[in-house]
Amino acid sequence: MGLLIKNAMIVNADKIWDKPHDILCEEGKITKIASGIATGGHETIDASGKKVLPGLIDIHTHLRQPGREDKETIETGSRAAVKGGFTSIMCMPNTNPVIDNAMVVEFIIREAKRVGLCNVYPVGAISKGLQDGELTDMAELKASGCLAFSDDGKAVLNSRLFRLAMEYAKMLDVLIIEHCQDPLLSAGGVMNEGVVSTRIGLKGDPGISETVTVARDIEIALYLNARVHLAHMSLKRSCELIRFAKSQGVKVTAEACPHHFVLTDEACGSFDTSTKVNPPLRSKEDVQAIKEAIAEGTIDCIVTDHAPHTKEDKEVGFDTAPFGLIGLETSLGLTVTELVKGGFIDLAQMVDKMSSAPARIAGLASKGVIKQGFDADITIIDPDKEWTVTREGFVSKSKNSPFIGRKLFSQVEYTICAGKVVYKF
């Protein structure tokens, strides 16, 4: 008994199929793609009129468990993920305890399996306790399930340690993800430094805190001929640096978040603390540059940087509120609305940015494409259906979204993970 998706208009990164096909999923894999596959006792979904994509993959999310289960858990985060069309997510290590030892990795994987909604891949810490001092036991962490390493939440400020981490990661063939933000330059900034921060008197974080780290990391990657993945790029200048590095053959990849291509720092003028995020919301010019960089490929993929916080934590003054906003449930809608409907990319490119490229970057070889023999992770959407973001609609434990009230295109109709329906609208 398998799952049969009838009349599927398949959208892969390399091709938007022009005729409907049937997809048969058995034992967690896609076993057959053809026209008129016999129903033969399989559970059947009719995908007529919808688009059928490889399951979305978010390589940058925060699940808060262990440690801050009041903000999010692996269970509620998984629920938010599948509602947003994601079948695989990578969770960042700034939990308590930190994901810097095999026990925590094993706990997360076990809990995610128990929840059984989507694949959860823990990202290991680069430095023990995120303290920027000593490297973690990366080989052991890899053996227990980490595909990537990051001190996300902050940059590895110690340049020598970062060099060593990249060398070591190269040997193990795992990914290093860098949160590019020099804390000495940020100097306690809570929003983008510019005319808006000057006007409203909030402490500015200058764009150079990001770009000097981008430039440093590119130089180290070039020197070592090693891979580096730059998290949540927010600036025009960062895109220029990455474009140049790629033209020189540096093994650099980069990601961007929907809030950085939808909102500008003007949004902080409302003092709504859900607009307080790291890196901060930038200028109009930066927003435009990020969209263009996604379209032309300088930015490889789109991630959520889903960062849940409780109402109590966010209902304080702007400068004391924690950084971050939730994104798992709005990422697809924002991307379709702003980038696809906005004419920057087509649906196939979107599949690349939200599934194929993340799979490639993270090393998930059997994901990111709808193809016989690949994992049966599939997201069925209606890209033209409009819906409104509401506070009550979020299944995430936290509601810190600056997009509440916004109308978005693209409804997730079904999310299928390992051949099993894990979400149905």
Partner 1 sequence: MSWKHKHLLGLADLSREDLELVLETAKSFKEVSSRDIKKVPALRGKTVVTLFFEASTRTRISFELAAKRLSADTLNIAVNVSSTSKGETLLDTARNIEAMNVDAMVVRHSSSGAVFLLAEGLNCSVVNAGDGCREHPTQALLDMFTLQEKFGRIEGLKIGIVGDILHSRVARSNIWGLTKLGAKVTVCGPATLMPRGIEALGVDVCYDLKKVLKQSDAVIALRLQKERQQDKFLPSLREYSRLFGIDQAKLNEGSDHLIVMHPGPTNRGVELSADVADGKQSVILDQVTNGVAVRMAVLYLVLGTKVSEGG
Helices of type H across 357-425: 357-362
Rounded to whole angstroms, the Cα distance separating 104 from 122 reads 9
Report the residue from 204, 333, 358, 368 that binds partner 1 according to the rule CB under 8 A.
204
Q: Which residue type does 392 have?
A: E
Report the residue from 96, 320, 372, 388 that binds partner 1 according to the rule CB under 8 A.
320
Confirm or reject binding of residue 197 to partner 1 (CB under 8 A): yes
Report the residue from 40, 317, 343, 405 that binds partner 1 according to the rule CB under 8 A.
317
Confirm or reject binding of residue 285 to partner 1 (CB under 8 A): no
* Bridge partner residues of 44 (DSSP): 4
User: Of the listed pieces 3-11, 235-243, 308-316, 336-344, which binds partner 1 according to CB under 8 A?
Assistant: 308-316
Q: Using CB under 8 A, count the residues that bind partner 1.
A: 21
> Closest Cα to residue 157, out of 67, 241, 217?
217
Q: Are residues 141 and 82 in contact, defined by beta-carbon separation less than 8 angstroms?
A: no
What crossing angle do the helices spanning 284-296 and 236-247 adopt, rounded to 10°? 30
Confirm or reject binding of residue 389 to partner 1 (CB under 8 A): no
Report the residue from 1, 312, 373, 391 that binds partner 1 according to the rule CB under 8 A.
312
> Closest Cα to residue 16, out of 419, 352, 267?
352
87 burial via Cβ count (<10 Å: 0-12, 13-18, 19+): buried
Confirm or reject binding of residue 319 to partner 1 (CB under 8 A): yes
Cβ proximity to partner 1: between 110 and 199 the closer is 199
> Closest Cα to residue 44, out of 85, 8, 81?
8
User: Of the listed pieces 51-59, 188-196, 230-238, 382-390, which binds partner 1 according to CB under 8 A?
Assistant: 188-196
Query: From residue 43, how far is each of 87, 150, 287, 317, 425 by CA, in Å?
Result: 19, 40, 44, 52, 17
> Closest Cα to residue 8, out of 287, 334, 371?
371
Least Cβ distance, residue 283 to partner 1 (angstroms): 10
* Contact characters 255-274, partner 1, x per CB under 8 A: ---------------xx---
Report the residue from 58, 152, 193, 375 that binds partner 1 according to the rule CB under 8 A.
193
Number of H helices, E strands in the chain: 14, 19
Catalytic residue among 22, 305, 313, 375: 305
Q: What's the full length of the chain, in residues?
A: 425
Rounded to whole angstroms, the Cα distance separating 249 from 380 reads 36
Q: Which residue type does 235 have?
A: L
Cβ proximity to partner 1: between 204 and 308 the closer is 204
Cβ proximity to partner 1: between 131 and 320 the closer is 320
Report the residue from 77, 194, 333, 419 that binds partner 1 according to the rule CB under 8 A.
194
Confirm or reject binding of residue 237 to partner 1 (CB under 8 A): no
Confirm or reject binding of residue 308 to partner 1 (CB under 8 A): no
Confirm or reject binding of residue 318 to partner 1 (CB under 8 A): yes
User: Of the listed pieces 125-133, 173-181, 318-326, 349-357, which binds partner 1 according to CB under 8 A?
Assistant: 318-326
Q: What is the DSSP letter of 73?
A: -
Cβ proximity to partner 1: between 77 and 194 the closer is 194
Rounded to whole angstroms, the Cα distance separating 417 from 421 reads 6
Q: Does 377 participate in catalysis according to the annotation?
A: no
Confirm or reject binding of residue 225 to partner 1 (CB under 8 A): no
> By the criterion CB under 8 A, which residues form the site for partner 1?
193-195, 197-204, 206, 270-271, 312, 315-320
Which residues are catalytic, by number? 305
